[in-house]
Amino acid sequence: MLNTGVYGSGFLATVISACLADFGTPVFCCHEDSSRLATAEQAAAFHEKDLQDIIRRNVRTQRLVYSSDLEKLLPYAHTLFLAEDSADRIEETALRITELMAKNSILAVVTPVAVGTATRIEKLLKEKKIEVTVVSQPVFFTDGCAVEDFNWPDRLIFGTTSESAVKALKTVYNPLVMRGVPVVMTNHETAELVRQAATAFLATKISLINELADLCEHVNGDAVSLATALGLDKKIAPRCLQPGAGFGGSFAESDMNNLMELAGKHGVTLKVMESAWVVNRALSERLAEKVSHAVESVAGKQVGILGLAFKPNTNSVAGSASVRLAQCLAVKGAKVRAYDPVAISAAKAQLDGTVRYCDSPYAAAEGADVLVVATAWPEFRVLDFQRIKRLLKSPVIVDTKNLLDAAQLRRIGFRYIGLGRAEHRAAAKAHAAGA
């Protein structure tokens, strides 16, 4: 009997249904649009490590079923996860699906929503005399690491006053609970706020290290060593403390927007978060200036870009600093050519014909005046840089992620410019003196 279900056909529903099934729980993933469900079943739209294997394994054993027949499945669901990627018309969707659910079942809202949404859903269901318990359950998935994030969460958060609902959800998540993953029970508003606050905190952390990287370039500091030293402090921790990263992802911008909108409605000014937003938005322009300075203006020059995804191991370009960098360079008159292992298709919609797309990193380098590392794909570390040097019009690399081995590249004749690493200034001066 399929007592656990997921409603949705996008990123969240695909990941959650597959991973729950991998716990050994029979799960159905449902949505009215059968064509979108077919895409979800193939995980074709998402570049996520291990996801396709998990789906295939659980579909084959019939632990995971995809169906558009809501009337057949929903009446038997004890627990249903509402996992649409967008919160558009979320209350209407919640009402429509709970009308088909049995009395005393559970609707866990994992869709990223504005604070107050679950309370409004609860009120709506009460008015319609629908006896379904609503639980707010924020999830914290990183594009490219969603399966790992699901299986190794830092905590499980349940927003509800119903202890029986929490007990039921702990049963669904039994492998995690038995492993000792902390469970936090709170009210709807706090659960909804946790997700947005976590995003804002990370955005602040990332923006701070990027500002410090800028300072490092002026005071003979090294931002990589600085980030390492800061990250070893238990109060700070190393994750998301790499200069040049910027923050982005499928839900980051909506989380930040929702939080700022909420604060504005209540007359609260979130000065730190607003500043982090400004710093992040300005990062691409600062990087474009760095590239332009490296070649004495990019106007009319060929710029090769390696990476368009907002981070490695995903095809998402949502909020991508790499895409914004390409846009900034194009505005400055650069002829931009770009390569990404998996994100070109997604990037095309945002770049709108301003970039020439290449089928390899070597094609992106061929004839370029400067090569820019914009996304930290591990494969870029092991490129044939002797070949890259021959292909480039001039051997200049701007590494916005500090991904590459600077010393090795300089030994073979590159002018290497990292981010927040003061030694590039000395190298630039030596280059200028020899010119």
Fold of 4-186: Rossmann fold (3.40.50)
Give residue 39's pLDDT: 67
Cβ atoms within 10 Å, residue 431: 14
Domain with CATH 1.10.1040.10 in the chain: 195-277
pLDDT at site 352: 82
For tokens 């490695």, the residue is 312
Domain 195-277 class in CATH: mainly alpha
Q: Which fold has domain 283-434?
A: Rossmann fold (3.40.50)
pLDDT of residue 240: 80
What is the distance of C-alpha 93 from the center of its chain?
25
Q: What percent of the chain has pLDDT over 70?
A: 95
What is the value of pTM for the model shown?
Answer: 0.87
Write the CB contacts of 285 (distance below 8 Å, at least 6 apart in sequence): 328
Over 90: is that where the pLDDT of 281 sits?
no
DSSP output for 353-402: TSEEE-SSHHHHHTT-SEEEE-S--GGGGGS-HHHHHHHSSS-EEEETT-
pLDDT per position as a tens digit, 2-39: 799 999 999 999 999 999 999 999 999 999 988 877 76
Note whether 28 and 2 are within 8 A (CB).
Answer: yes
What is the pLDDT confidence band of residue 422, given thresholds at 50, 70 and 90? low
Q: Which of 189, 166, 173, 5 is nearest to 97 (CA)?
A: 5
Residue intervals in the chain for CATH 3.40.50.720: 4-186, 283-434
Residue pair 155/182 in contact by the 8 Å Cβ criterion? yes
Paired strand residues for 350: none
Which residue reads 């710029």 in tokens? 303
- Average confidence (pLDDT) over 187-191: 98
CA dihedral of residues 133, 138, 143, 144 (deg, nearest 10)? -80
Tens digit of each residue's pLDDT (9 = 90 or more) over 312-325: 989 989 888 899 99
